[in-house]
Copies of this chain bind each other. A is one copy, B any other.
Amino acid sequence: MNAEILATGDEIRTGALVDSNSAHIAEVLTMHGLEVTRHHAVGDNLNALTAILVEIAGRTDVAIVTGGLGPTRDDLTAEAMARAAGCELQLNDLAMETVTRFFRERKRTMNASNRKQAYLPQHAEVLDNPVGTAPGFVLKIDKCTFFCLPGVPYEMKKMLKDQVLPHVAALSGGVQNYCRVHTLSTFGFVESAVGEKLSGLETLFPDITVGLRAKFPEIQIKLYWKGSDEPRGMQTLEAGGAWVAEQMGDRLFSTGDQTMAAVVGDLLVARNASLAVAESCTGGLISNWLTNTPGSSNYFLMSAVTYANSAKMNILGVSADTLNSVGAVHEKTAEEMACGARRAAGADFGLATTGIAGPDGGTDEKPVGTVCIAVAGPEQTLSKRYLFAFGRRLMNKRIFAMAALDMLRRVLLNLPVL
Protein backbone atom coordinates (compact mmCIF):
# COMPACT_ATOMS: atom_id res chain seq x y z
CA MET A 1 0.00 0.00 0.00
CA ASN A 2 1.11 3.53 -0.76
CA ALA A 3 0.95 6.27 1.84
CA GLU A 4 1.29 10.05 1.89
CA ILE A 5 1.82 12.36 4.84
CA LEU A 6 0.38 15.86 5.22
CA ALA A 7 1.49 18.28 7.93
CA THR A 8 -0.66 21.36 8.44
CA GLY A 9 -0.08 24.70 10.14
CA ASP A 10 1.26 28.15 9.39
CA GLU A 11 4.27 27.64 11.67
CA ILE A 12 5.37 24.78 9.44
CA ARG A 13 4.43 26.52 6.20
CA THR A 14 6.43 29.66 7.12
CA GLY A 15 9.33 27.72 8.58
CA ALA A 16 8.92 28.93 12.17
CA LEU A 17 8.74 25.28 13.17
CA VAL A 18 10.66 22.32 11.76
CA ASP A 19 8.23 19.48 11.00
CA SER A 20 9.65 16.46 12.76
CA ASN A 21 6.29 14.65 12.91
CA SER A 22 6.40 13.64 9.27
CA ALA A 23 9.79 11.92 9.59
CA HIS A 24 8.52 9.91 12.54
CA ILE A 25 5.36 8.88 10.72
CA ALA A 26 7.32 7.98 7.58
CA GLU A 27 9.70 5.81 9.55
CA VAL A 28 6.90 3.97 11.36
CA LEU A 29 4.88 3.38 8.19
CA THR A 30 7.97 2.27 6.24
CA MET A 31 8.92 -0.24 8.94
CA HIS A 32 5.39 -1.63 8.70
CA GLY A 33 5.72 -2.31 5.00
CA LEU A 34 3.94 0.73 3.56
CA GLU A 35 5.51 2.60 0.69
CA VAL A 36 5.57 6.26 1.69
CA THR A 37 5.58 8.16 -1.59
CA ARG A 38 5.18 11.81 -0.65
CA HIS A 39 5.25 14.25 2.27
CA HIS A 40 3.46 17.58 2.07
CA ALA A 41 2.87 20.62 4.25
CA VAL A 42 0.31 23.40 3.84
CA GLY A 43 -0.79 26.28 6.07
CA ASP A 44 -3.99 27.10 7.94
CA ASN A 45 -5.96 27.98 4.83
CA LEU A 46 -9.24 26.24 4.07
CA ASN A 47 -8.95 26.31 0.28
CA ALA A 48 -5.32 25.22 0.21
CA LEU A 49 -6.02 22.45 2.66
CA THR A 50 -9.10 21.20 0.82
CA ALA A 51 -7.30 21.24 -2.53
CA ILE A 52 -4.41 19.08 -1.38
CA LEU A 53 -6.73 16.64 0.42
CA VAL A 54 -8.66 16.13 -2.81
CA GLU A 55 -5.42 15.48 -4.70
CA ILE A 56 -4.22 12.96 -2.12
CA ALA A 57 -7.63 11.23 -2.07
CA GLY A 58 -7.31 10.45 -5.77
CA ARG A 59 -3.73 9.24 -5.61
CA THR A 60 -2.91 7.06 -2.62
CA ASP A 61 -4.26 4.33 -0.30
CA VAL A 62 -3.49 5.76 3.12
CA ALA A 63 -2.83 9.31 4.29
CA ILE A 64 -1.79 10.60 7.68
CA VAL A 65 -2.69 14.22 8.38
CA THR A 66 -1.26 16.03 11.41
CA GLY A 67 -2.36 19.26 13.05
CA GLY A 68 -5.36 21.54 12.80
CA LEU A 69 -7.57 19.64 15.26
CA GLY A 70 -7.37 22.19 18.08
CA PRO A 71 -10.02 24.54 19.43
CA THR A 72 -9.00 27.77 17.68
CA ARG A 73 -10.24 29.39 14.48
CA ASP A 74 -7.17 28.44 12.53
CA ASP A 75 -7.71 24.73 13.23
CA LEU A 76 -9.34 23.74 9.96
CA THR A 77 -8.64 20.07 9.33
CA ALA A 78 -12.15 18.74 10.11
CA GLU A 79 -13.81 21.38 7.94
CA ALA A 80 -11.43 20.83 5.03
CA MET A 81 -11.91 17.07 5.26
CA ALA A 82 -15.70 17.53 5.17
CA ARG A 83 -15.39 19.70 2.07
CA ALA A 84 -13.05 17.26 0.37
CA ALA A 85 -15.51 14.45 1.15
CA GLY A 86 -18.48 16.56 0.08
CA CYS A 87 -20.26 16.22 3.41
CA GLU A 88 -21.16 18.29 6.46
CA LEU A 89 -19.60 18.69 9.88
CA GLN A 90 -21.75 17.35 12.67
CA LEU A 91 -21.48 16.99 16.40
CA ASN A 92 -19.96 13.57 17.06
CA ASP A 93 -21.17 12.20 20.39
CA LEU A 94 -18.18 9.96 20.93
CA ALA A 95 -15.80 12.83 20.19
CA MET A 96 -17.74 15.04 22.60
CA GLU A 97 -17.40 12.41 25.26
CA THR A 98 -13.64 12.22 24.67
CA VAL A 99 -13.22 15.99 24.98
CA THR A 100 -15.45 16.20 28.07
CA ARG A 101 -13.64 13.30 29.74
CA PHE A 102 -10.26 14.96 29.22
CA PHE A 103 -11.34 18.06 31.11
CA ARG A 104 -13.23 16.18 33.80
CA GLU A 105 -10.27 13.87 34.56
CA ARG A 106 -7.93 16.83 34.87
CA LYS A 107 -10.45 18.90 36.86
CA ARG A 108 -10.06 21.65 34.28
CA THR A 109 -12.85 23.85 32.96
CA MET A 110 -13.91 23.21 29.40
CA ASN A 111 -14.03 26.28 27.17
CA ALA A 112 -16.83 26.83 24.71
CA SER A 113 -14.18 26.61 21.99
CA ASN A 114 -13.35 23.04 22.99
CA ARG A 115 -16.84 21.96 21.84
CA LYS A 116 -15.65 22.78 18.32
CA GLN A 117 -13.24 19.85 18.56
CA ALA A 118 -16.20 17.44 18.67
CA TYR A 119 -17.57 18.52 15.28
CA LEU A 120 -16.33 15.98 12.75
CA PRO A 121 -17.22 15.16 9.16
CA GLN A 122 -20.27 12.91 8.78
CA HIS A 123 -19.27 9.21 8.66
CA ALA A 124 -15.92 9.95 10.30
CA GLU A 125 -14.85 7.40 12.88
CA VAL A 126 -13.36 8.85 16.08
CA LEU A 127 -9.80 8.00 17.10
CA ASP A 128 -9.51 8.32 20.85
CA ASN A 129 -6.84 10.67 22.18
CA PRO A 130 -6.13 9.55 25.73
CA VAL A 131 -3.48 12.23 26.34
CA GLY A 132 -4.86 15.46 24.85
CA THR A 133 -8.02 17.40 24.18
CA ALA A 134 -8.30 16.86 20.44
CA PRO A 135 -9.73 13.52 19.28
CA GLY A 136 -8.55 12.32 15.89
CA PHE A 137 -10.63 10.66 13.21
CA VAL A 138 -10.59 8.29 10.23
CA LEU A 139 -12.45 9.02 7.01
CA LYS A 140 -12.31 7.38 3.62
CA ILE A 141 -12.48 9.77 0.66
CA ASP A 142 -12.31 8.35 -2.83
CA LYS A 143 -9.76 5.52 -2.71
CA CYS A 144 -7.83 6.87 0.29
CA THR A 145 -8.27 6.25 4.02
CA PHE A 146 -7.30 9.42 5.90
CA PHE A 147 -6.12 9.34 9.50
CA CYS A 148 -6.28 12.83 11.04
CA LEU A 149 -4.09 13.21 14.15
CA PRO A 150 -3.15 16.12 16.42
CA GLY A 151 0.11 17.98 15.72
CA VAL A 152 1.45 17.67 19.29
CA PRO A 153 4.22 15.09 18.82
CA TYR A 154 3.54 13.12 21.97
CA GLU A 155 -0.20 12.76 21.25
CA MET A 156 0.39 12.01 17.58
CA LYS A 157 2.96 9.28 18.30
CA LYS A 158 0.75 7.54 20.80
CA MET A 159 -2.29 7.55 18.52
CA LEU A 160 -0.24 6.44 15.50
CA LYS A 161 1.04 3.42 17.37
CA ASP A 162 -2.07 2.42 19.30
CA GLN A 163 -4.79 3.20 16.78
CA VAL A 164 -3.55 3.91 13.28
CA LEU A 165 -1.25 0.89 12.91
CA PRO A 166 -3.88 -1.76 13.81
CA HIS A 167 -6.31 -0.01 11.46
CA VAL A 168 -3.74 0.00 8.64
CA ALA A 169 -2.94 -3.69 9.23
CA ALA A 170 -6.65 -4.46 8.85
CA LEU A 171 -6.76 -2.46 5.60
CA SER A 172 -3.91 -4.51 4.14
CA GLY A 173 -6.13 -7.57 4.50
CA GLY A 174 -3.70 -9.78 6.37
CA VAL A 175 -0.86 -9.57 3.85
CA GLN A 176 2.12 -8.66 6.03
CA ASN A 177 4.92 -6.76 4.38
CA TYR A 178 8.10 -5.81 6.12
CA CYS A 179 10.80 -3.27 5.56
CA ARG A 180 14.02 -3.95 7.36
CA VAL A 181 17.07 -1.73 7.48
CA HIS A 182 20.71 -2.40 8.29
CA THR A 183 22.88 0.61 9.11
CA LEU A 184 26.68 0.77 8.92
CA SER A 185 28.70 3.82 10.00
CA THR A 186 31.93 5.00 8.39
CA PHE A 187 34.45 7.76 8.85
CA GLY A 188 37.31 8.70 6.57
CA PHE A 189 35.85 8.47 3.07
CA VAL A 190 33.95 11.30 1.39
CA GLU A 191 30.43 10.48 0.20
CA SER A 192 31.36 10.01 -3.44
CA ALA A 193 34.13 7.57 -2.50
CA VAL A 194 31.69 5.54 -0.39
CA GLY A 195 29.29 5.50 -3.34
CA GLU A 196 31.99 4.21 -5.67
CA LYS A 197 33.13 1.49 -3.27
CA LEU A 198 29.54 0.23 -3.11
CA SER A 199 28.96 0.27 -6.85
CA GLY A 200 28.69 -3.54 -7.16
CA LEU A 201 26.19 -3.91 -4.33
CA GLU A 202 22.93 -3.75 -6.19
CA THR A 203 24.10 -6.31 -8.75
CA LEU A 204 25.24 -8.73 -6.06
CA PHE A 205 22.20 -8.12 -3.87
CA PRO A 206 19.31 -7.15 -6.14
CA ASP A 207 16.82 -7.23 -3.23
CA ILE A 208 18.70 -4.54 -1.33
CA THR A 209 18.46 -0.83 -1.94
CA VAL A 210 21.15 1.39 -0.50
CA GLY A 211 21.05 4.93 0.84
CA LEU A 212 23.87 7.13 2.10
CA ARG A 213 23.29 9.53 4.94
CA ALA A 214 25.88 12.19 5.68
CA LYS A 215 25.93 12.98 9.40
CA PHE A 216 28.95 15.22 9.13
CA PRO A 217 31.67 14.12 9.47
CA GLU A 218 30.52 10.49 9.41
CA ILE A 219 28.70 8.77 6.58
CA GLN A 220 26.09 6.14 7.33
CA ILE A 221 25.30 3.42 4.81
CA LYS A 222 21.72 2.19 5.03
CA LEU A 223 20.68 -1.09 3.41
CA TYR A 224 16.94 -1.56 2.95
CA TRP A 225 15.12 -4.78 2.28
CA LYS A 226 11.39 -5.17 1.66
CA GLY A 227 9.16 -8.20 1.35
CA SER A 228 7.00 -10.70 3.18
CA ASP A 229 9.57 -13.40 4.02
CA GLU A 230 11.22 -11.70 6.97
CA PRO A 231 13.81 -14.37 7.90
CA ARG A 232 15.05 -14.36 4.31
CA GLY A 233 15.22 -10.58 4.41
CA MET A 234 17.33 -10.60 7.55
CA GLN A 235 19.71 -13.12 5.95
CA THR A 236 19.98 -11.00 2.83
CA LEU A 237 20.73 -7.89 4.86
CA GLU A 238 23.33 -9.73 6.89
CA ALA A 239 25.10 -10.93 3.76
CA GLY A 240 24.86 -7.48 2.18
CA GLY A 241 26.17 -5.88 5.38
CA ALA A 242 29.15 -8.23 5.44
CA TRP A 243 29.96 -7.33 1.84
CA VAL A 244 29.74 -3.61 2.61
CA ALA A 245 31.94 -4.05 5.70
CA GLU A 246 34.60 -5.67 3.50
CA GLN A 247 34.51 -2.78 1.02
CA MET A 248 34.82 -0.19 3.77
CA GLY A 249 37.67 -1.92 5.61
CA ASP A 250 38.85 -0.15 8.74
CA ARG A 251 36.94 3.01 7.86
CA LEU A 252 33.83 1.21 9.07
CA PHE A 253 33.60 1.96 12.76
CA SER A 254 30.16 0.54 13.56
CA THR A 255 28.03 -2.21 12.00
CA GLY A 256 25.10 -0.27 13.38
CA ASP A 257 24.36 3.36 14.13
CA GLN A 258 26.51 3.65 17.24
CA THR A 259 28.33 6.93 17.60
CA MET A 260 32.13 6.95 17.33
CA ALA A 261 32.25 7.98 20.99
CA ALA A 262 30.15 4.96 22.00
CA VAL A 263 32.34 2.64 19.91
CA VAL A 264 35.48 3.97 21.60
CA GLY A 265 33.73 3.60 24.96
CA ASP A 266 32.96 -0.07 24.27
CA LEU A 267 36.57 -0.70 23.25
CA LEU A 268 37.80 0.86 26.49
CA VAL A 269 35.35 -1.23 28.53
CA ALA A 270 36.44 -4.40 26.72
CA ARG A 271 40.06 -3.61 27.61
CA ASN A 272 39.15 -2.51 31.14
CA ALA A 273 40.96 0.74 30.34
CA SER A 274 40.29 4.34 31.34
CA LEU A 275 40.66 7.56 29.37
CA ALA A 276 41.64 11.14 30.05
CA VAL A 277 41.31 13.81 27.37
CA ALA A 278 43.09 17.12 26.82
CA GLU A 279 41.26 19.41 24.43
CA SER A 280 42.24 22.72 23.00
CA CYS A 281 40.59 23.50 19.66
CA THR A 282 37.77 20.96 20.15
CA GLY A 283 36.73 22.97 23.21
CA GLY A 284 34.98 20.17 25.12
CA LEU A 285 33.23 18.56 22.18
CA ILE A 286 35.09 15.25 22.59
CA SER A 287 34.12 14.97 26.23
CA ASN A 288 30.58 16.13 25.47
CA TRP A 289 30.27 13.30 22.92
CA LEU A 290 31.85 10.76 25.26
CA THR A 291 29.54 11.69 28.13
CA ASN A 292 26.41 11.51 25.97
CA THR A 293 26.75 7.74 26.36
CA PRO A 294 25.16 6.43 29.57
CA GLY A 295 27.75 4.62 31.67
CA SER A 296 30.65 6.66 30.30
CA SER A 297 31.78 7.32 33.88
CA ASN A 298 33.07 3.71 33.84
CA TYR A 299 35.98 4.69 31.60
CA PHE A 300 35.98 8.45 31.10
CA LEU A 301 37.88 10.09 33.96
CA MET A 302 38.28 13.67 32.83
CA SER A 303 38.89 16.12 30.06
CA ALA A 304 41.00 19.20 30.54
CA VAL A 305 39.78 21.79 28.06
CA THR A 306 42.87 23.97 28.12
CA TYR A 307 42.28 26.95 25.91
CA ALA A 308 44.88 29.14 27.59
CA ASN A 309 48.57 28.22 27.40
CA SER A 310 48.82 28.75 31.16
CA ALA A 311 46.19 26.04 31.66
CA LYS A 312 48.14 23.73 29.34
CA MET A 313 51.15 24.23 31.58
CA ASN A 314 49.45 24.23 35.00
CA ILE A 315 46.93 21.45 34.51
CA LEU A 316 48.69 19.26 31.99
CA GLY A 317 52.34 20.04 32.64
CA VAL A 318 53.08 21.04 29.06
CA SER A 319 56.54 22.62 29.18
CA ALA A 320 57.05 26.32 28.58
CA ASP A 321 60.01 25.38 26.38
CA THR A 322 57.78 23.37 24.07
CA LEU A 323 55.18 26.14 23.83
CA ASN A 324 57.89 28.73 23.16
CA SER A 325 59.80 26.70 20.60
CA VAL A 326 57.10 24.94 18.55
CA GLY A 327 53.93 26.76 19.68
CA ALA A 328 50.55 25.56 20.93
CA VAL A 329 49.64 23.85 17.67
CA HIS A 330 52.25 21.17 17.16
CA GLU A 331 52.59 17.38 17.37
CA LYS A 332 55.00 17.74 20.28
CA THR A 333 52.57 19.92 22.23
CA ALA A 334 49.75 17.47 21.53
CA GLU A 335 51.92 14.63 22.84
CA GLU A 336 52.74 16.52 26.03
CA MET A 337 49.05 17.29 26.48
CA ALA A 338 48.03 13.64 26.01
CA CYS A 339 50.74 12.43 28.40
CA GLY A 340 49.83 15.17 30.88
CA ALA A 341 46.12 14.27 30.84
CA ARG A 342 46.93 10.59 31.25
CA ARG A 343 49.25 11.32 34.17
CA ALA A 344 47.01 13.89 35.89
CA ALA A 345 44.01 11.56 35.86
CA GLY A 346 45.91 8.31 36.37
CA ALA A 347 44.30 7.00 33.19
CA ASP A 348 45.43 4.19 30.88
CA PHE A 349 45.06 6.35 27.77
CA GLY A 350 45.39 10.05 27.07
CA LEU A 351 43.93 11.74 23.99
CA ALA A 352 44.75 15.32 23.00
CA THR A 353 43.83 17.86 20.33
CA THR A 354 45.37 21.22 19.56
CA GLY A 355 44.64 23.13 16.41
CA ILE A 356 43.01 26.09 14.71
CA ALA A 357 39.22 25.89 14.33
CA GLY A 358 38.97 29.40 12.91
CA PRO A 359 37.64 31.70 11.66
CA ASP A 360 40.79 33.56 12.81
CA GLY A 361 44.19 32.48 14.06
CA GLY A 362 45.46 30.75 10.93
CA THR A 363 48.92 31.36 9.44
CA ASP A 364 50.57 30.28 6.19
CA GLU A 365 52.35 27.52 8.01
CA LYS A 366 49.34 26.51 10.14
CA PRO A 367 46.17 27.52 8.32
CA VAL A 368 42.65 27.29 9.78
CA GLY A 369 41.76 23.60 9.71
CA THR A 370 45.13 22.42 11.07
CA VAL A 371 44.93 20.04 14.00
CA CYS A 372 47.52 17.98 15.86
CA ILE A 373 46.22 14.88 17.61
CA ALA A 374 48.07 12.65 20.04
CA VAL A 375 47.28 9.38 21.77
CA ALA A 376 49.31 8.39 24.83
CA GLY A 377 48.99 4.80 25.98
CA PRO A 378 50.75 2.43 28.35
CA GLU A 379 53.27 1.44 25.67
CA GLN A 380 53.70 4.38 23.36
CA THR A 381 52.69 7.89 22.47
CA LEU A 382 51.93 8.83 18.90
CA SER A 383 50.84 12.00 17.20
CA LYS A 384 49.91 13.27 13.81
CA ARG A 385 49.05 16.54 12.06
CA TYR A 386 46.02 16.89 9.78
CA LEU A 387 44.68 19.66 7.61
CA PHE A 388 40.94 19.71 7.04
CA ALA A 389 39.51 22.13 4.52
CA PHE A 390 35.97 22.72 5.75
CA GLY A 391 36.51 26.30 6.75
CA ARG A 392 33.80 26.77 9.33
CA ARG A 393 34.55 26.75 13.03
CA LEU A 394 31.77 24.36 14.04
CA MET A 395 32.54 21.92 11.23
CA ASN A 396 36.23 22.02 12.11
CA LYS A 397 35.48 21.29 15.76
CA ARG A 398 33.39 18.28 14.70
CA ILE A 399 35.90 16.78 12.29
CA PHE A 400 38.83 17.41 14.68
CA ALA A 401 36.93 15.64 17.48
CA MET A 402 35.95 12.77 15.19
CA ALA A 403 39.50 12.34 13.88
CA ALA A 404 40.81 12.26 17.46
CA LEU A 405 38.35 9.59 18.56
CA ASP A 406 39.12 7.63 15.39
CA MET A 407 42.84 7.75 16.14
CA LEU A 408 42.17 6.34 19.61
CA ARG A 409 39.90 3.66 18.10
CA ARG A 410 42.69 2.64 15.74
CA VAL A 411 45.23 2.45 18.55
CA LEU A 412 42.85 0.33 20.66
CA LEU A 413 42.29 -2.02 17.70
CA ASN A 414 45.95 -2.10 16.57
CA LEU A 415 44.93 -0.64 13.22
CA PRO A 416 47.19 1.70 11.21
CA VAL A 417 46.55 5.35 12.00
CA LEU A 418 45.24 7.36 9.04
Residues of A within 8 A of B (CB): 7, 9-20, 22-30, 36-44, 48, 52, 70-74, 106, 111-114, 131, 133, 152, 154, 181, 191-193, 195-196, 209-214, 222, 224, 276-277, 279, 283-288, 290-292, 294-297, 300-308, 310-311, 314-315, 344-346, 357-360, 389, 391-395, 397
Contact = CB atoms under 8 A, between A and B. Distances in A.
Given A12-B23, A292-B283, A196 B113 contact: yes
Contacts of A213: 11, 16-17
Given A15-B23, A111-B192, A114-B192, A297 B308 contact: yes
A70 B25 CA distance: 27
A152 to B, nearest CB: 7
A40 B38 contact: yes
A182 B389 CA distance: 34
A199 to B, nearest CB: 8
A7 B359 CA distance: 31
A302 B291 contact: no
A337 to B, nearest CB: 12
14 contacts: A15-B24, A16-B211, A37-B43, A111-B192, A133-B192, A283-B290, A284-B288, A284-B305, A297-B307, A301-B311, A303-B304, A310-B346, A314-B344, A314-B346
A28 B15 contact: yes
A9 B36 CA distance: 12
Given A12-B39, A16-B211, 12 more contacts: A11-B211, A36-B43, A40-B41, A44-B211, A72-B212, A113-B192, A276-B311, A283-B290, A284-B290, A288-B288, A294-B358, A314-B344
Contacts of A114: 192
Contacts of A22: 15, 19, 41
Contacts of A73: 195
B304 A304 contact: yes
Interface pairs A-B: 7 shortest CB-CB: A283-B291, A15-B26, A15-B27, A284-B287, A284-B284, A302-B311, A72-B195
A285 B300 CA distance: 15
Nearest to A73: B195
Nearest to A16: B211
A344 B16 contact: no
Nearest to A74: B211
B292 A393 contact: yes
A404 to B, nearest CB: 13
Given A304-B305, A389-B106, A294 B36 contact: no
Given A38-B52, A314-B345, A19 B23 contact: yes
Contacts of A25: 15
A330 B162 CA distance: 37
A300 B294 contact: no
Contacts of A296: 283, 307
Nearest to A303: B305
A22 B42 CA distance: 12
Nearest to A133: B192
Contact of A36 (B13, B191, B346): B13
B37 A38 contact: no
A206 to B, nearest CB: 14
A137 B152 CA distance: 37
A7 B26 CA distance: 14
Nearest to A359: B294
Given A213-B17, A308-B301, A397 B292 contact: yes
Given A19-B19, A113-B192, A131-B391, A38 B27 contact: no
A311 B38 contact: no
Contacts of A37: 13, 42-43, 48
Contacts of A74: 210-211
